[in-house]
Amino acid sequence: MKKWQFWLGLLISIVFLWFALRGLQLDQFWASVQSANYWWLIPGIGVYFIGVWVRAWRWHYLLGPIKKISTKTMFPITTIGYMGNNIYPARAGEVLRAVILKRREGVPVSASLATIIVERIFDGVVMLAFVFVNLPELAKLTGSSGFVGNIQQLALIGTGVFLGALLVFLLAAMFPQVTARVGLWFISRLTPKRLHEKTIGIMSRFLDGLASLRSPFNVLMVFFTSVIIWLLETGKYWFVMHAFPFQVSFFALMLLNGIANLATTIPSAPGYIGTWEAVTKAVLVAYAVDPAVALGYAVVLHVALWLPITLLGAYYLAREGIKWSDSLRTEVEN
């Protein structure tokens, strides 16, 4: 609670919540929430969990060169990771699932984290693809959303960042010996000598985690499964939309999915409170959705995305017998 990152994230969330609530009649917002047809959340949550299962399969696929682990085993660990991201700051769930995988399957944490970073890069690329598939719609949105900044310009910057990161990881995977030599050069010059052996070991295990990227077929499969994952999540947006009195196209929801999830990369309070609501409302208002209805949809969708996976992840975490208060530092470093 005393870390400056937490307080910075909380401040950013408050600012975004102010944008979301600015000029809004709260009674109209509450009326939209009360009148929603919540039966539509059931198929939406079902589709979402199919997407989580595909995420577990993708992670199983990325870890294949290190150790063959069934998707059935990976699914609970994946849900624990998403639970951790939802309730702990700084996406601590990613480290948590890497630690649990090490405890259960003996996979080094640094190797697991390499595959998790690859997941996130591919997720970012797909999110930006969703944005650019809808460039004509995006041009309209940026002019009428009332949101601070130019979303199109931010998307272009994001594209450069994610594609650049993907290129670096692909090169590191294809040329591990060259990458190792470059890493050794930096380690020998930037770290104390007493840490060289441990740092080199972490780097080696991290490079092992990139092994799946050495095959073009593997890269295509990871990209394909990433597209399926985010189309299924967009399907949840579509189902929840039917609980509210507005209609936009599936492509509009793809655009919303891309922009809203990219906005969650902005530092914020745990659970992306504020950033999610402000951006989701802004996108829908650009499609002429009533602001109160748009915010009602944003809040209900956010809860539907957050609560089920968090509860299931907490159940699996309790079953593992591990608490976040446990000392995990040693396991992360080894």
- Show pLDDT as tens, one digit a residue, over the chain (334 residues): 456 667 777 788 888 888 888 877 888 889 999 999 999 999 999 999 999 999 999 998 899 888 999 999 999 999 999 999 888 876 788 889 999 999 899 999 888 988 998 898 889 888 888 877 776 666 666 555 545 345 666 666 767 777 788 888 788 878 888 888 888 888 888 888 777 777 877 778 777 778 888 888 888 899 999 999 999 999 999 999 999 999 999 988 998 898 888 777 777 777 788 888 888 988 888 888 999 999 999 999 999 999 999 999 999 999 887 765 555 545 554 5
d(CA 97, CA 99): 5
Give the model's pLDDT for residue 71. Answer: 93
Q: Can you give the pLDDT at residue 1? A: 45
pLDDT of residue 213: 82
**What per-residue confidence (pLDDT) applies to 177?**
84
Contacts of 93 (CB under 8 A, 6+ apart): 80, 81, 82, 83, 84, 85, 86, 313
pLDDT at 199: 81
CA-nearest of 13, 1, 262 to 129 is 262
pLDDT for 153 equals 66
Predicted local distance difference test score (pLDDT) of residue 144 = 52
pLDDT attached to residue 151: 61
Please give the Cα distance from 121 to 232 (Å, whole number).
Answer: 18
What pLDDT score does 142 carry? 55
User: In Å, what is the CA distance from 257 to each residue of 127, 129, 233, 248?
Assistant: 7, 11, 8, 13
Please list, in sequence order, all residues whose beta carbon lies within 8 angstroms of the beta carbon of residue 197, skipping any fewer than 6 positions away: none
Contact 146, 282 (CB under 8 A): yes
* Residue 216 C-alpha from the chain's centroid: 24
